[in-house]
Amino acid sequence: MRSIWNGNISFGLVSIPIKMYPATEDHAVSFRQVHSKDGGRIRYRKVCELEDKQIDAAEIGKAYEDADGTLIPITDEDLARLPLPTTRALEIQAFVSAADIDPLQMGDAYYLGANGPAAAKPYALLREALKRSEKVAITKYAHRGRERLGMLRVVGDAIAMHRLLWPDEVRTPVGVAPKEKVTIRDAELDLADTLMNTLGEVDLSELHDEYQEALDSLVAAKMAGATPTAEPGEAPAGAQVVDLMAALRDSVRSARQARGEEAGEKAEAGEPGEEGEATVHPLRARKKAAAPAKKAPAGKGTAAAAKKNTAKGTEKRAEKAGAAKTTAKTAKTAAAKKAPVKKQAADKRAGGRTAS
């Protein structure tokens, strides 16, 4: 890895020689401008306006343009003589919590490596101090013609620096939020929460640039002389969402299908299974629960009702007793009728034994 800047980290009276390396890289395909008619390259040449001729890079310097258009030359020697301690050093200003840094201020990222064996121990000391404090260091440094802010933090066993914008370089979001007054219902928030939970978390290392992959395939097909077969993707719908609840339900269903979840798990979001489509109904006002029946006040009415119930119970018990008496009487009468018949049969059998 090639360093892009050499300097020192100034940690109080401790000076740590370091080298700065780019922490990120761009994988995008670079296109060149060509003449559509014959395919010739289109190039930009740096031309002096006074002499009307192309100028080499070694002859090009810097200048500051005044408000009236006057150009004031600024040389590298002028910049090197600026009375700033940050000219060749990262001057640590303070240590703060990472949560105090507005992500809008975050810029390019760099790795800071120890420059030489003598820098190993102070480098490790700063790294371990950052780890134990669980804080980040705010630093100032000069780079590419201007003083900048940086944030130092630990990444693995190395110290990384994120370039920070100055606070006055971050715009306020005036006029960005919608001006219309809207009301968000609890049911909509509940569905939004369900959609967030369904989408869940993701390992960023598993994400990949699908556009880049398609572009690589297109370039490879062109180089091989083949006709690209890729079909254009669907354009995003620009229509306004009419039913937000329906859109949220459809989003939850699509997310769950994409994750391969069972249809039974969709009940949580109020969706049907795979057999039918979701039917969206407008929310209706909740009906008030019916008031409980009032109890009759204690008094004459209550006593009369109790007396009436008691009379009915007594009447039912009398009916049951009468029915039992009738059954017993009937059985007794039947037994009395059968008695003479049994006696005649016995006498007949006795007479037969005497004759013999």
pLDDT one-digit tens code per residue, 48-95 = 999 999 999 999 999 999 999 999 999 988 877 777 655 678 999 999
- What pLDDT does 93 receive? 94
CA distances from 106 to 98, 109, 306 (A): 11, 9, 83
Residue 301 has pLDDT above 90, yes or no: no
- Nearest residue to 213 via CA among 28, 32, 33, 31: 28
* Residues whose CB is less than 8 angstroms from the CB of residue 163 and which lie 6 or more positions away in sequence, other chains included: 106, 107, 108, 109, 110, 148, 149, 150
Average pLDDT over residues 318-337: 52
- What pLDDT does 103 receive? 94
* Residues whose CB is less than 8 angstroms from the CB of residue 112 and which lie 6 or more positions away in sequence, other chains included: 9, 18, 19, 20, 21, 90, 152, 158, 159, 160, 161
At 2, is the secondary structure helix, strand, or coil? coil
Residue 309 has pLDDT above 80, yes or no: no
At 248, is the secondary structure helix, strand, or coil? helix
- 1-10, 79-88, 141-150, 246-255: range with lowest mean pLDDT: 79-88
Query: What pTM was estimated for this model as a whole?
Result: 0.60
- What pLDDT does 253 receive? 86
Pairwise CA distance, residues 89 & 144, whole Å = 13
The answer to whether 154 and 131 are in contact (CB under 8 A) is yes
Q: Please give the mean pLDDT across all residues of the chain.
A: 77
Distance of CA 242 to the CA centre of its chain: 23
**What are the beta bridge partners of residue 141?**
148
Pairwise CA distance, residues 194 & 184, whole Å = 15
pLDDT by residue (tens digit) across 22-59? Answer: 999 988 888 899 999 999 999 999 999 999 999 999 99
The answer to whether 74 and 63 are in contact (CB under 8 A) is yes
Q: What is the DSSP letter of 239?
A: S
Q: Which residue has the higher pLDDT, 2 or 276?
A: 2
Give the whole-number percent of the chain exceeding pLDDT 90: 38
* Residues whose CB is less than 8 angstroms from the CB of residue 202 and which lie 6 or more positions away in sequence, other chains included: none
**pLDDT class for 288, splitting at 50, 70, 90?**
very low
**pLDDT class for 348, splitting at 50, 70, 90?**
low
**What are the beta bridge partners of residue 20?**
5, 112
Residue 305 dihedral angles phi and psi, to the nearest 5°: -65, -40
- What pLDDT does 160 receive? 97
Question: What's at 212, amino acid-wise?
Answer: Q
* Widest CA span in the chain: 174
Residue 16 has pLDDT above 80, yes or no: yes
- What pLDDT does 213 receive? 85
**pLDDT class for 201, splitting at 50, 70, 90?**
confident
- What pLDDT does 325 receive? 52
- What pLDDT does 41 receive? 95
The CA angle 93-96-101, to the nearest 5 degrees, is 100
* Residues whose CB is less than 8 angstroms from the CB of residue 71 and which lie 6 or more positions away in sequence, other chains included: 63, 64, 65
Pairing type for strands 89-96 and 5-11 reads: parallel
Residue 227 has pLDDT above 50, yes or no: yes
CB neighbours of residue 151 within 10 Å: 20
Pairwise CA distance, residues 194 & 186, whole Å = 12
Residue owning tokens 């049911």? 187
Pairwise CA distance, residues 307 & 155, whole Å = 89
pLDDT by residue (tens digit) across 246-275? Answer: 887 888 888 888 777 644 444 444 444 443
